[in-house]
Amino acid sequence: MVRVGNVNIEGNIALSPMAGISDSPYRQIARSFGSAFSYTEFVSTDQICLGNQKSIDMFRFREMERPIFFQIFGSELHKVIEAARRIEPLGPDVIDLNMGCSVAKVSHNGSGAGLLKNLRLASKMIEGIRKNVSVPVSAKIRLGWDQESLNFRDTVSALQDSGVSAISVHGRTKSMGYTGVANWDAIGEIKSFAKVPIFGNGDISSFADAEKKISKYGVDLALIGRKAIGNPWIFSKGEKTKQGFTEIKKVILKHLFSMDEFYPSKDEYALILFRKHFVRYIEGLSFPEKMKRDLLQSSSINHFVELLEATELETQFEKFGIGIDDEILNCESFLA
């Protein structure tokens, strides 16, 4: 069990927050397969303070998702504090400050990974949130802005001194984005001196890999991001994997119906959002290209379901391996 302030987390492997991916429907799927807790997608404190309902709606969740971390980002101290005060009544267990988003529109504006270059401000944000809300405060960081400024020791120390209750660490720099290889030795170094729980993140490929990294580097919890997209099985202990297309189809439909309920719209908005998940669910399958194309071009959920139900795959699929275009994780889609 991991304890973040007064919040207990049962389990030590969880879904990492990802823009455009870790919404409530997929968090519910991940939790049902064993993810230990839930992060919301990150939400702009500017938009929260403006009362933007679309942004505030990103905090909607179901009770089964708890413990739930509300993740926010911003570059102005008073807005970050005010946003935290506004969202506390919505019921988060923890409020998390994003200090890791590498997208230029975020980080070059002083938010996300941009805070790694302004630790004094980041510290004031953590302290300000902590003093103005009654729930614990955590932060998600990277190792530094680039290889020439690996300031993760100073970052962790500053956040701890400000009262942070847990820190998740993506083992890359801002300049790396999602390229290269995550530096787990640095994550392990952080854990060796940290006084708060440390969650490790980066390049985890399976449940077994997560367990190995927890054991080798001593982190309190492992976060899985890109390899979990379309693959909630990754959170199941004992390397439980997909058993066949019938099982995959059931999870696809459960996920789609959950999105349809969560995003009610006359223009099939949920189906459009679901497409990026669908292509990952069927990755590695001998899926007919025409059928795949028809499903992706479908503009009706009922039509999509009819097509999918009529699809039968007899061939074996290759061992599931997820890759994902970084564009799917692009934070900018939520800043337009």
Whether residue 115 lies inside any domain: the answer is: yes
Q: Are residues 295 and 227 in the same domain?
A: no
Express as a percent the part of the chain with pLDDT over 70. Answer: 90
Any idea what DSSP says for residue 115?
Answer: G
CATH of the domain at 169: 3.20.20.70
Q: Are residues 131 and 207 in the same domain?
A: yes
Write out the catalytic residue numbers.
101
Whether residue 14 lies inside any domain: the answer is: yes
For 55, the domain range is: 2-239
- Looking at residue 321, its pLDDT comes to 39
- Looking at residue 268, its pLDDT comes to 87
Nearest to 261 by CA among 250, 249, 273: 273
Q: How far does CA 229 lie from the centroid of its chain? A: 10
Cβ density class 95-106: b for 16+ within 10 Å, e for less: bbbbbbbbbeeb
- Quick check: 214 pLDDT over 70? yes
- Looking at residue 148, its pLDDT comes to 93
Residue stretches of the annotated binding site for FMN: 17-19, 71, 140, 170, 225-226
> What's the chain's average pLDDT?
90
- Looking at residue 243, its pLDDT comes to 61
Q: Are residues 130 and 14 in the same domain?
A: yes
Lowest mean pLDDT, pick from 104-118, 147-161, 303-317: 303-317
Q: Are residues 49 and 147 in the same domain?
A: yes
- Looking at residue 245, its pLDDT comes to 83
- Looking at residue 259, its pLDDT comes to 95
Q: Are residues 49 and 190 in the same domain?
A: yes
Sequence-separated (6 or more) residues with CB below 8 Å from residue 170: 100, 140, 141, 142, 143, 182, 201, 202
- Quick check: 257 pLDDT over 70? yes
- Looking at residue 266, its pLDDT comes to 66
Q: How far apart are CA 306 and CA 309, in angstroms?
A: 5
Residue stretches of the annotated binding site: 17-19, 71, 140, 170, 225-226
Q: Are residues 142 and 226 in the same domain?
A: yes
Contact 66, 38 (CB under 8 A): yes
